[in-house]
Chains A and B, each alone.
Chain A
Amino acid sequence: MKAKIIIGGVVVVLGIALAAMNFLESNVEYADFATAQKTHKKVQVKGEWVKEQSSSFDPSKVKFSFYMKDDAQRVVKVVLDGAKPNNFELATSVVAKGKFVDGEFQATEILTKCPSKYEGTSEAVKKTL
């Protein structure tokens, strides 16, 4: 009986330790472009879309590229693996997940944050009057 408990306990502790390691590894940290360039690790960068500079979609490579300004005011070209995200025009801020490669940020995923619901609805309520 005792042996069973000890073996069970060891397995459980090991499992939890592995899971914890996995958890820390899988966490994608926030960073700015400067740190992303230094570390070359997968990070997420928060910033805003610089609409003045050209953005384009390349149908042959299925890549959408645009310029993004991070919170440290640095502007970098972001190349997204995919099409222009939904609600991109509306987004007040953009979070790009990816890596820094050859002077540009290669993103695998982009999250867009739309204006807060309250502001949005106040406009909308006037529209539907």
Chain B
Amino acid sequence: MLLLGTIAENLIRVGLLAALCAAFFYYRVHRGAANSVLRLARTSYHLATLLLICAAGSLLYLIVQHQFMYKYVWEYSSTTLSLPLLFSTFYAGQEGSFSLWALYTSIIGIFLMVYSSHREYEAEAMSVYSLILAFLLVMLVVKNPFELIWNAFPADLIKTGPIPPGVTNIVMLDAVKGLWAQYPAEGKGLNPLLQNYWMVIHPQILFTGFSAMAVPYTLAVAAMLKRDYSSWIRVATPWAVFGSMILGTGIIMGGYWAYETLGWGGFWGWDPVENSSLIPWLLCTASIHTALNQRKSGAFVRTNFVFSLLTFMMVLYSTFLTRSGVLGDTSVHSFVDPGMWVYWLLLGCIALFGSIGFGVFFLRLREMPKVKSQHTIFSREFALFLGAFALSFVALFVAVGTSSPLITSLLKGKASAIEVAYYVKTNLPLGIIICLLSGLGQLLWWKHSNTGSLLRSVATPVLLALGVTTMIYVLLGPEDLLILLFAFCAAFSLFANMQVGYGVFMGNPKFVGGSIAHIGIAVMCLGFVTSSRYDTKATLSLERGKPVDALGYRMTYIGYKQIDKERYAFNVEVEHGGVKKVVSPLMRFNTQENSTIRNPDLINFLNRDFYVAPVSVEEGGQDSQKSIKLMRGQSETVSNLKVQFDGFEFSEAQRAAMMQGKEFTIDAKLMVSDGNAKKHLDLKMKTGSKGAEYIPAGFIASDGKNYEFVINQMLPSQDDPSKSSVDIVIDLPADDTTAKREETLVIEASIKPMINLVWAGTITLVIGFLLTIARRVEEAKREGDKWSKET
């Protein structure tokens, strides 16, 4: 097993060499080298891919075999995980997720090679693409997943001298010097938050998307190298649509994961990790729209190059943000500092691919054809152009927000994150424009639409959208004007696309993808509004067996069930309209790390979700302590006692002592009564050289029970003594019956109206994408055939 790691480590190094060779040989082919060099280039690329697959296979094998002598295996997996989760630990850490990214990039490259060879694009495209693969392999050489654990913790694990009897898991390092190392018998295990089936699917899809985002960049650079400024767009579009579809699916899946199991309360939290995949997606989607323009009119040549380049640059930048440790302390996610190497490598990579991409761009800028756009404002071209720009501005604003810790630390010297409200406020107007255009654009003609026909086609969708908006207003209630406008535009887009889609479908069903994708987006946007703007929430304490009415539901906590050593399911009976159902949110108590992990549960109705997130569970029995805060003159009942705060006493003598720097005391005066007995208590705070000391005072009630009072914190008011207050803690007697209560479950219950729209919209969107890919691949194939006939 020691050997396997060493071999795999070297496979990656050789793979890196092979990828660099491929990049070089392909470049030679571009410069006109002979066919033999092309064969060499292909072999090199295949070799790099093969080696990477073997290395990844080795890592997976080591994980499945529980080889904890490898730091990565030890850090993220354990013997207790199920097989699918064990597989998923492959990409639970940085080293592994870079491996996954590299692996998918290399495999997609094989497809790209075949695809581009049919279109005379192989040499240039694969040269650039191999370079990208090489960068990812450099990352793996630096962040080696096969590091041995004793090299990471030499002080703890490497020992000298004779091996004591009974010690297992030993590797002899140097028999002559008597140097040996011990390695763990069990791994640290996968973060409990990630132990979920989504962990098996979601990262894989996301990384496929990330890998695919490199292709439009590659093809853009290749096209500029080849001085092909027009037909490249047909070659690249299927890839952009594919990338956008996969990454989009991955993003929404992540949202569903956050909503359904992680208990973030919603599907989107504008978290840096989420944003980092959203930014490239927005740009890629924008590029699909401007590409459409170029195919029609030949204009937007430069725009398309810039968008395709930027998409990949943003993949790199986002990776830099979330992986280099720059976000540091500003998010709930702990961004582990991976060390200076990764930081500089990622920065270097941004610089390298940025200068390659934009270097070639500026080199070719002057010779790019300038096609005068011949459209008016009332044309589909203009709508597409505006829509793409709105999308790229959303990307910009999200990128700025996510970079906030970087920006603020540059401006103010101290990093601070941004409030989530920023994203909503900044992007809402853009969202309105995008929704409007995604409907209007479909109704407009290419080049120019006449006002009469436009008005006629707009009428129905506008009326229907007004109907939907009114319905939202009446059924769900008033909202911000901008939110309602957003809902209106989304509904307009929905109906406009249905109208257009129907017409297209009657003409040629193959062309309906665009309309369907837009319908999906519109439905999703409506779902966003209803589920996150009209949700209602309540935090409730459910004492076992006692029903509580809230949000129109009757909830009763009926007890818990232990699932395994750490996990408990808390069953809450929910009654609504005569129907009873049970929800079982989970909590996982890790006693070793003293942490609690909470998983929500929900009931999915057709028109809403009833969502229950556990907050805490308070054991039954009784409190031994009670803490209260009292204003001067105020009283509160604790157990059987009435406790009143009469103010602080700070006598002249004590004041003088304080002035002289001597020991002094301040009293908090309480009046305590249990109905019969009444007593003044002076709680003292003594301040001396050792700091403040609080001296307790006791109260014996008429039934003989003993209560003890102590100051927790004094909050005197300098200007107005009547506003002074005090925080006190009362020790209750052991058999105090009034403090007794049943076990209590605290939950946050919420209702999310029409959240199914979000999921339905997603599925529709993916179908639309698939149809579009099919159409564009066919088109690209025709283009390819044309070329092969010509040559």
Contacts and interface: CB of A to CB of B under 8 A. Distances in A.
Interface stretch (B136-144, B419-427, B558-566): B419-427
B393 A113 contact: no
B156 A126 contact: yes
Interface in B443-477: none
B499 interface: no
A59 B75 CA distance: 37
A60 B541 contact: yes
Contacts of B426: 18-19, 22-23
Contacts of B401: 23
Interface string A87-129: 1011000010000001100000001011001000110111011
B303 interface: no
A82 B615 contact: yes
B400 interface: yes
B156 to A, nearest CB: 6
B746 A62 contact: yes
B334 interface: yes
A28 B422 contact: no
A42 B417 CA distance: 13
Interface string B717-756: 0000000010101000000000000001010100000000
A111 B404 contact: no
B597 A86 contact: yes
Interface stretch (B179-187, B199-207, B661-669, B696-704): B179-187
Interface string A50-86: 0001101101101001010000000101000011101
A56 B416 contact: no
A59 B184 CA distance: 42
A32 B755 CA distance: 41
A89 B418 CA distance: 26
B416 A44 contact: yes
B156 A122 contact: yes
A90 B186 contact: no
A128 B188 contact: yes
A77 B467 CA distance: 51
B774 interface: no
A95 B415 CA distance: 13
A95 B188 CA distance: 27
Interface stretch (B126-134, B361-369, B501-509, B588-596): B588-596
Contacts of A128: 68, 74, 184-188
A27 B625 contact: no
B713 interface: yes
Nearest to A86: B595
Contacts of A122: 153, 155-156
Interface string A15-32: 100110011011111100
Contacts of B153: 121-122, 125
A29 B412 CA distance: 10
A23 B418 contact: yes
Interface in B622-649: 625, 627
Given A87-B594, A128-B186, A30 B712 contact: no
Contacts, number: 117
B397 A19 contact: yes
Contacts of B332: 111
A4 interface: yes
A62 B712 contact: no
A62 B422 contact: no
A102 to B, nearest CB: 8
B149 interface: yes
Contact of B400 (A4, A23, A114): A23
A129 B169 CA distance: 8
Contacts of A83: 615-616, 746
B778 interface: no
A29 B416 contact: yes
A23 to B, nearest CB: 6
Residue among A27, A77, A124 with the most chain B CB within 10 A? A27
The dominant DSSP class at the A interface is: mixed
Contact of B416 (A19, A30, A113, A121): A30
Contacts of B595: 86-87, 90
Contacts of A57: 616, 618
Contacts of A19: 397, 400, 426
Contact of A62 (B184, B594, B615): B615
B173 interface: no
Nearest to B417: A28
Contacts of B414: 30
Interface in B555-597: 593-597
B152 to A, nearest CB: 8
A87 B627 contact: no
A75 to B, nearest CB: 8
A67 B541 CA distance: 24
B408 interface: yes
A46 to B, nearest CB: 8
A28 B416 contact: yes
Given A128-B74, A128-B188, A56 B627 contact: yes
A102 B726 CA distance: 12
B188 A84 contact: no
B377 A4 contact: yes
A62 B421 CA distance: 24
Contacts of B377: 4
Interface string B390-418: 00010001001100100010001010111
A64 to B, nearest CB: 9
B117 interface: no
B418 A27 contact: yes
B329 interface: yes
A86 B193 CA distance: 11
A27 B404 contact: yes
A87 B397 CA distance: 32
B482 interface: no
B81 interface: no
A10 to B, nearest CB: 14
B419 to A, nearest CB: 4
A67 B75 CA distance: 34
A19 B397 CA distance: 7
A103 to B, nearest CB: 4
A59 B594 contact: no
A23 B422 contact: yes
Contacts of A15: 393, 429
Contacts of A30: 414, 416
A101 to B, nearest CB: 12
Contacts of A77: 713, 727
A19 B331 CA distance: 22
Contacts of B149: 125
B771 interface: no
A95 to B, nearest CB: 7
B393 A59 contact: no
Interface of B: 68, 74-75, 149, 152-153, 155-157, 169, 182-188, 329, 331-332, 334, 336-337, 377, 393, 397, 400-401, 404, 408, 412, 414, 416-419, 421-422, 425-426, 429, 539, 541, 593-597, 615-616, 618, 625, 627, 712-713, 715, 725, 727, 729, 744, 746, 748
23 contacts: A4-B377, A15-B429, A18-B426, A22-B425, A23-B418, A26-B418, A30-B414, A54-B625, A59-B541, A59-B618, A59-B746, A62-B541, A90-B595, A95-B329, A102-B725, A114-B334, A117-B336, A121-B152, A121-B153, A121-B188, A122-B156, A126-B156, A129-B184
Task: Sort A-B residue pairs by CB-CB distance and give the 9 closest, nearest first.
Answer: A26-B422, A128-B184, A26-B419, A103-B715, A89-B594, A83-B616, A62-B539, A59-B541, A83-B615
Given A28-B418, A128-B188, 7 more contacts: A54-B625, A59-B616, A60-B541, A90-B595, A111-B329, A111-B331, A128-B187
